[in-house]
Chains A and B, each alone.
Chain A
Amino acid sequence: MNPADPGGAIAAPAAPGPASRRPLPARASHFGPAAGGTGPDAAGLAFVAEMYGVQVDQLAAALGVSSQRAGAIAGRWVGRRLAQAERLSAGPRWVWLTRAGLTACGLAYAPSPPALPRLPHIRAVTAVRLALQGAPGYAAAGAHWRSERRLRSRLGGRLGQRDHLPDAEVHWPEIPAGPPDGSGPPAGPGSGASQDQAGGSVTDLVVPGRPVPWAGECWAIEAELTPKTVRRTSAIMTELLSRTGDYGCPAAEARVPGRPARYARVIYLCSPAAAGPVSRARAALGPAGARIQIRALPEAGYLRGGRQARR
């Protein structure tokens, strides 16, 4: 196993839980009682590690606690030298993991504070993750967020000119974590029930214990704050849509005509300024653009004072 990717290609899906905003389920028990590790601690540390760093308000949203409580948790991490916290931008403090924190999570990422120019983007991606995780059905379907940091670590510094890394991948396993009531195996995605309900609301689509219609897919997530040129955006879209191999795979397998595409769809979360070029780039792709979905970036994805600057 790649030491930088302890979870393998796709980490184990999270346990099912209520669809509303709630504390993240514990992924691993790296923390014993001696370390003072609790479920939220472990999950929070892993969350922070995967996102490069997060602001305390987003950490609070991730852990399902108040900002004050999240600040206290971050302070405890800092006290144990698992994390560092500083005010890197306007708004709440940023928290990121030290080498000890990353080691405690079993991750071999390079410990460094989030880069200042990337802070808006990191916050935007974190907000997208939180919004997705809060959406009904995400946890029930056992979806898994695979961060850019994990993808980059799989490449091991071999990011070629042709490789564009998405901001994240979302994996939808074909078999959900299990029916909450334990009543038998889940129905397949092609079952009549799910298709009949497909045209309804999302609550109709997501039935606990039953795969979502898009189970088995892998999505690429792109958060666009600043507008790129249509040509560049179109090239990125084409690259993502035509990719067949995982990141870190042999170069020859990255794009193999005839193989199933890696990403069933690409989800763009755009600021108002970036939405136009992204939509034009999607239109330029023609029918292939059908696999691209564009939505607005959540309000919580903007750094304080950044939204006005990008309008």
Chain B
Amino acid sequence: MTGLARSAGRGLARLTARTAVLLGTAGVLVAAVPVVAIGAAAAGLAWLRGWPPGRLGREAAWQLPMVAVWLAAIALTSQSWERTAAAPYRAWLAMWQLAQAGSYARALVVVAPAAIPLGLLAGAAAWAYRLRSMAAAAGGSSPGAAAAFDRRQWRHQVRTARARIAAPGAVPLTTAAGDVVVGATIRAAGPGGDRAASGAGGLARLPYERLRSHQVILGGTGTGKTTLLLRLWAAFLATGLRRHAAGQGRAPLLVVLDCKGGGDARRIASRARRVLRAAGARATAIWPDEASLSIWDLPPDQLVTTLADLVEQGTGGAAYYADVLDAVVALAVTAPCGPPAGRAEFLARLDPGWLTLAWQAGGGPELELIRTAGRQVADVALRYRALFRRLGPGLDGPGSLADADAWYCIVEGTAETAVAEAQARALVDLLASYITRGPGDREVLLAVDEFSAVSRRLPIWALYERARSLGLAVQVSAQSWHGLAPDDTGRYRIAAAAEGGIWLLRTPHPDPVTALAGPRRVTETTRRLIGFPRWSRAGTSRAADAPVADPALIRALDVGQAAYLYRGAATFVQISRLVTGPDALAAGLATDPAPARAPAGAGAAAAEQDSPARARPPGAGRRRDSQVVMAGVGAFLDAAFGPEPAGAAGAASPVPAAAGDPAAGTAGSSAAAGRAVPGTTGAPGISGGRRDR
């Protein structure tokens, strides 16, 4: 009986104590009602917007100037530090007195300087407590409440991020500090405090140096990958050009390898040109539709390798033929008369008679080699003839990578995979040669889009290892992890070298990449079921590892959302689309999917010069006979100034005064440039002269 009474007494005391605490808390809350109201509003706003608690803390800090001014004003008017120190208390007291007198507005004004920062801080603390308890699965009425809370917060954060980028011009391409802005941050997770993670709704910023490192972008079709790529390319050019103008870096060069091809690639090329032009690029060349490059400008040893790599070679017994092909190509390219200046000259050299004549002066083992491989030379020539026919003239032109600020190269990886692989290989060889042997005054970003189409024969990692020292950054994008390389070794090699970070858009198999991002420590809490649907708060907690980037979340990403993985942190970003002006491409380019062997221009700048049809100024869209016009212009000028002077109309003139035929200048110009024209200097063309390099 005594025990029962004692127990009842303890229970009563506990109840009394709890009631006292509750009453005391309620009293404090009522007494500090302005702070409580502001704190509740701030926490509610943070919940609605998906803000982190730090955002409220920063907002509170921004109120400090107001507090300082308020205190200074009190100090000046009262001339007493005691009254200044007691100002918050006196404001609180005055608020109640004014409220009692019915002056509610004045009461709010009087207490606001003290209540607003304190309320924001209180809201931040309450919101932080709520987030931590939910992250540890200790909050909510059930164990599933934490997951539901997280899903709700994700929706709020996405809504905030979308609102942040919705206004036109709300997201600049770069910041004043030179950071690249990708969009708005949805959420950031993981250690390190990445600069890109600025809380939901803040701008997602990347230092420019990240774009100067290798990056990997994975995302399926229609997930916003192209939007992200265009933004990164434009930011690279804009920042690079600005740094170059300020003397802080070399001029940027962007080379995009679109390995998908077709009309879609041309539409993206059109968009890329507009975006890059807006970013400051003076010239964007589209290969092979409008501009061409020349593999024949490669150094002879590199040219041998490139030509040999263009042809797909087998293994096993077929390796013998690969060796023969390599030897014959080397003999043709490194002939004493100099390397070939074009495909026609190269094909003409794939002849035992030509090779014998070319090498007989020096004697030596080459003649023996020619005799040995003589029977296969015709096969090699046949193979290259077929290959060049399929490759088109895009690699045969006079253009150079230095001609433009950006090159958008379209290879038909979907329609003609083998051709695309050869073209991609040659283009990468050209770029590598330009970087290693060129003027070395460019910061180059090579972006390979839809890499899976050419990954079988394009060992991109060969560039990775020495790329940074050469000023080259490589950006590889594919639709999935498996599109990065034919095997896991290659995939991990590419992904592990992505020092600039990995972008993950919605993709069905993100696990290998999220595993690369690493884990983070989380608190897991168990709850005791005390009868469905009630769980007590009693339970246990333990520290555990969870992926920084949740694969399930990445599988569920919406269009335009991406996870950026960098140094063990993941930042989820809502990408902002770049708005550009109207299409400025030549008519038909964006809609007419020209195949790889479509006629190419003659270099970025020369493309316009060589074609009289392109010489028409804007508005003169009607087709005219250029020769008629030329003859008419000549007559008009003759009438105005007299005939062309004798010195100008001499042998060097490409335009006969009578007819004005542009084609008449070809021979003269070739002679002037010192180029060997096959067939004009004797049967084998050996004496065509060594090219002046």
Docked Cα-Cα span, A205 to B650, in Å, equals: 27
Inter-chain contact B586/A283, CB cutoff 8 Å: no
Given contacts A217-B616, A253-B277, A260-B616, are A284 and B673 in contact (CB under 8 A)? yes
Binds B, one of A42-50, A109-117, A149-157, A272-280: A272-280
Inter-chain contact B622/A131, CB cutoff 8 Å: no
- Count CB-based A-B contacts (< 8 Å): 233
B window 32-58: CB within 8 A of A: none
Q: Is B202 close to A, CB under 8 A?
A: no
Binds A, one of B109-117, B498-506, B530-538, B603-611: B603-611
Q: Is A4 close to B, CB under 8 A?
A: no
Cβ–Cβ < 8 Å partners of A135 in chain B = 636, 639-640
Given contacts A213-B624, A252-B278, A290-B665, are A270 and B640 in contact (CB under 8 A)? no
B window 656-687: CB within 8 A of A: 660-663, 665-666, 668-670, 672-673
Q: How far is the CB of A158 from chain B (nearest CB, A)?
A: 13
User: Given A215, A217, A241, A294, which contacts B609 in the complex, CB threshold below 8 Å?
Assistant: A241
Inter-chain contact B669/A289, CB cutoff 8 Å: yes
Given contacts A216-B620, A261-B614, are A252 and B281 in contact (CB under 8 A)? yes
Inter-chain contact B615/A256, CB cutoff 8 Å: no
Q: How far is the CB of B445 from chain A (nearest CB, A)?
A: 18
Q: Is A201 close to B, CB under 8 A?
A: yes
Q: Is B585 close to A, CB under 8 A?
A: yes
Cβ–Cβ < 8 Å partners of A295 in chain B = 637-638, 640-645
Interface size of A by Cβ–Cβ distance < 8 Å? 74
Cβ–Cβ < 8 Å partners of A282 in chain B = 648, 652-655
Q: Is B347 close to A, CB under 8 A?
A: no
Q: Is B284 close to A, CB under 8 A?
A: yes
Q: Is A265 close to B, CB under 8 A?
A: yes
Docked Cα-Cα span, A135 to B628, in Å, equals: 19
Cβ–Cβ < 8 Å partners of A250 in chain B = 277
Inter-chain contact A137/B278, CB cutoff 8 Å: no
Q: How far is the CB of A59 from chain B (nearest CB, A)?
A: 20
B window 116-161: CB within 8 A of A: none
Docked Cα-Cα span, A150 to B639, in Å, equals: 27
Docked Cα-Cα span, A250 to B619, in Å, equals: 20
Inter-chain contact B628/A198, CB cutoff 8 Å: yes
Q: Is A85 close to B, CB under 8 A?
A: no
Nearest CB in chain B to that of A200: its residue: B635
Q: How far is the CB of B388 from chain A (nearest CB, A)?
A: 22
Q: How far is the CB of B619 from chain A (nearest CB, A)?
A: 6
Nearest CB in chain B to that of A246: its residue: B618
User: Given B642, B648, B673, which contacts A279 in the complex, CB threshold below 8 Å?
Assistant: B648
Nearest CB in chain B to that of A136: its residue: B639
Given contacts A198-B632, A296-B645, are A290 and B669 in contact (CB under 8 A)? no
Q: How far is the CB of A3 from chain B (nearest CB, A)?
A: 24
User: A208-219 interface mask toward B, CB cutoff 8 Å, 1 = contact, 0 = none?
Assistant: 000011111110
Nearest CB in chain B to that of A273: its residue: B647
User: Given A261, A275, A296, which contacts B608 in the complex, CB threshold below 8 Å?
Assistant: A261
Cβ–Cβ < 8 Å partners of B513 in chain A = none
Nearest CB in chain A to that of B670: its residue: A286
A window 261-311: CB within 8 A of B: 261-265, 267-270, 272, 275-276, 278-280, 282-298
Docked Cα-Cα span, A294 to B641, in Å, equals: 10
Nearest CB in chain B to that of A292: its residue: B655
Docked Cα-Cα span, A138 to B639, in Å, equals: 11
Given contacts A238-B605, A284-B673, A287-B665, are A294 and B640 in contact (CB under 8 A)? no
Inter-chain contact B662/A287, CB cutoff 8 Å: yes
Cβ–Cβ < 8 Å partners of B281 in chain A = 252
Cβ–Cβ < 8 Å partners of B291 in chain A = 257
Q: Is B629 close to A, CB under 8 A?
A: yes
Q: Is B612 close to A, CB under 8 A?
A: yes
B window 234-254: CB within 8 A of A: none
Inter-chain contact A198/B631, CB cutoff 8 Å: yes
Docked Cα-Cα span, A216 to B615, in Å, equals: 11
Q: Can you spell out 20 A-B residue pairs with CB atoms less than 8 angstroms apart?
A: A135-B640, A189-B624, A214-B636, A217-B617, A242-B608, A242-B609, A244-B608, A252-B277, A256-B282, A256-B284, A257-B290, A257-B601, A261-B614, A264-B615, A286-B670, A289-B654, A289-B665, A290-B661, A292-B655, A294-B648
Other than the given A257-B605, A282-B648, A289-B654, 4 more pairs (CB < 8 A) read A257-B285, A264-B617, A280-B652, A290-B612
Closest 8 A-B residue pairs measured CB to CB? A286-B669, A216-B620, A288-B609, A290-B662, A283-B652, A135-B640, A295-B641, A279-B648
